[in-house]
Amino acid sequence: MTTWSTTVAGRSYTFRHLVEVLAKASPRRSGDELAGCAAETDAERAAAQSVLADLDLSTFLTTPVVPYETDEVTRLILDTHDAAAFSAVSHLTVGGLRDHLLETVTLPDAGERLSALAPGLTPEMVAATSKLMGNADLISVARATRVTSAFRSTIGLPGRLSTRLQPNHPTDDPRGVAAATLDGLLLGSGDAVIGINPATDSPQAAADLLRLLDDVRLRYDIPTQSCVLAHVTTSIELMEAGAPVDLVFQSVAGTEAANRGFGVDLAVLAEAHQAALSLDRGTVGTNCMYFETGQGSALSADAHLGVDGHPVDQQTLEVRAYAVARAFDPLLVNTVVGFIGPEYLYDGKQIIRAGLEDNACGRLLGLPMGVDVCYTNHAEADADDMDTLLTLLGAAGVGFVITVPGADDVMLGYQSLSFHDALTMRQTLGLRPAPEFEAWLERVGLMDAGRVPPVDAALSPLRALVGGR
């Protein structure tokens, strides 16, 4: 077995496996400490980063972090690797790739170059490189990428910030869902998706919510897509029954065992993808899958162990989840960055760093990334931390964020962004909604010259839109 050694401040450090190098090179976070794989000191972290910087990128093609024989995610990563795209950087080390990326972002055709490179990068290469980057590096590289997807609206165009309108209700009451949807539309939210987390596992309840959202969309001719975030097998059942399914949703993770904990594998995801494609409900594109991820999900499922039982750090496993998403050409992928809790991301500093990592790594792999800028009430974080992360993500070109009434999800019990937060970011950074949705907002009087009018001014055209009710 290969080991790596280096000396920092007069002390020698030895790492027994690539998995250990990756884990101990990671910025500090509570999940890795919980798993027992984090660096014990800043000096050990620096030593691991030094070793990592000098590793050849080809090492990741011959040294899996999770065994090839027992993990279908590893097989997916290695069996679909694009050697031709990789040839442009195959001679580089991890540190060399970092330098290459930071040089590339200064070029006028940076977006095209990064798009061409994406199929040649494995999640482990990208995760490793991000561990050598500061926050400003992550922002710079993410902003230079160009990733778009489309269904009824186009997500990810430069100068755009889309939103998921999340009208959750603790009992799936249609009146509550409708009220929250109206609130979001009034404030220009919903161009990425109007997506509901159902309070129950009932297929009938999911079907009722789908019909409610589809009726709103059709009645007011809104160029967006809806999604009830039921389990993928429920979505398959609903499609077979003729329900108006636009996007198929599923939470995914970076190991076969963690996905098994979610009740899915690659085969069932492929079945759902083909079923959704066959419905042909999109108008400007055919991307019809929606995936959610989050650092710590594999650890929380006790499905985080790699080669020889070494625990794999949560950020590397998170980026491996993006390989699963990439295989199905999704419309949307978002990390629910602070949702799992302080056991995995302890405070605002760790949440901010993880959000920037996830956005940059996903975009480098060619994914239409979004972020649920959020925290749980028992984390050492607050709304100011979320304002900071949202602003940084806006600068980093994030494709979409999740918005809920008043920034407080009353069904899931966590803090996210409000519709007003997204408006503020669009106005502050000069960003706009998806073009199809923006044209609709202007047509119905909910936007004028790129700005959403005050609510009183918006209500008049809205009342006309709903027939005076």
What is the per-residue DSSP string for 187-245? TT--SSEEEE--SS--HHHHHHHHHHHHHHHHHHT----EEE---HHHHHHHHHTT---
Q: Tell me, what's the pLDDT at 13?
A: 92
Cβ 297 vs Cβ 255: under 8 Å:
no
Separation of alpha carbons 15 and 94, rounded Å: 17
Amino acid identity of residue 396, one-letter, is A
> Which residues are paired to 360 by β-bridges?
none
Q: Tell me, what's the pLDDT at 468?
A: 45
Separation of alpha carbons 256 and 142, rounded Å: 28
Q: Tell me, what's the pLDDT at 51?
A: 97
Predicted structure pTM score: 0.95
Tokens at residue 225, please? Answer: 């897509």
How many beta carbons lie within 10 A of that of residue 257, not counting itself? 18
Separation of alpha carbons 98 and 121, rounded Å: 12
Q: Tell me, what's the pLDDT at 5?
A: 86
DSSP E strands in 267-410: the ranges are 289-293, 332-336, 369-372, 400-403, 408-409
How many beta carbons lie within 10 A of that of residue 190, not counting itself? 31
- DSSP code at position 40: S
Look at residues 228, 242, 318, 299 and name the one whose alpha carbon lies nearest to residue 275.
242
What does residue 304 show for φ and ψ, rounded to 5 degrees?
-115, 10
Long-range contacts of 268-272 (CB under 8 A, 24+ apart): 268/232, 268/233, 268/236, 269/232, 269/324, 269/327, 269/328, 270/328, 271/236, 272/232, 272/235, 272/236, 272/248
Dihedral of alpha carbons 185, 187, 193, 194, sign = negative
Amino acid identity of residue 152, one-letter, is R
Separation of alpha carbons 210 and 204, rounded Å: 10
Q: Tell me, what's the pLDDT at 334?
A: 97
Tokens at residue 316, please? Answer: 């590397």
Walk along the chain (469 residues) and give the pLDDT tens digit of each residue. Answer: 678 888 888 899 999 999 999 999 999 999 999 999 999 999 999 999 999 999 999 999 999 999 999 999 999 999 999 999 999 999 999 999 999 999 999 999 999 999 999 999 999 999 999 999 999 999 999 999 999 999 999 999 999 999 999 999 999 999 999 999 999 999 999 999 999 999 998 999 999 999 999 999 999 999 999 999 999 999 999 999 999 999 999 999 999 999 999 999 999 999 999 999 999 999 999 999 999 999 999 999 999 999 999 999 999 999 999 999 999 999 999 999 999 899 999 999 999 999 999 999 999 999 999 999 999 999 999 999 999 999 999 999 999 999 999 999 999 989 999 999 999 999 999 999 999 999 999 999 988 766 666 655 555 555 554 444 4
Separation of alpha carbons 39 and 45, rounded Å: 5
Separation of alpha carbons 436 and 428, rounded Å: 22
